[in-house]
Chains A and B, each alone.
Chain A
Amino acid sequence: QQQVKQSPQSLIVQKGGISIINCAYENTAFDYFPWYQQFPGKGPALLIAIRPDVSEKKEGRFTISFNKSAKQFSLHIMDSQPGDSATYFCAPREGARAGGTSYGKLTFGQGTILTVHP
Chain B
Amino acid sequence: DAGITQSPRHKVTETGTPVTLRCHQTENHRYMYWYRQDPGHGLRLIHYSYGVKDTDKGEVSDGYSVSRSKTEDFLLTLESATSSQTSVYFCATQRGEVNPYEQYFGPGTRLTVT
Q: Which residues of A are at the interface with B, using a C-beta cutoff of 8 A?
A: 4, 6, 32, 34, 41-46, 49, 51, 89, 91, 93, 101, 104-106, 108-111
Are the CB atoms of A43 and B107 closer together than 8 Å? yes
Asked if B58 is at the interface (CB within 8 A of a chain A CB), the reply is yes
Q: What range describes how many residues of B lie at the interface? A: 20 to 34
Establish whether residues B56 and A101, one from each chain, have CB atoms under 8 Å apart when the complex forms.
yes
Number of A-B contacts (CB under 8 A): 54
B→A interface (CB under 8 Å): 4, 31, 35, 40-45, 48, 56-58, 90, 92, 94, 97, 99-108
Docked-complex contact A105 and B42, CB < 8 angstroms = no
State whether B100 touches A42 (Cβ < 8 A). Answer: no
B42–A110 CB distance below 8 A: yes
- Given A89-B42, A101-B56, A106-B107 contact (CB < 8 Å): no
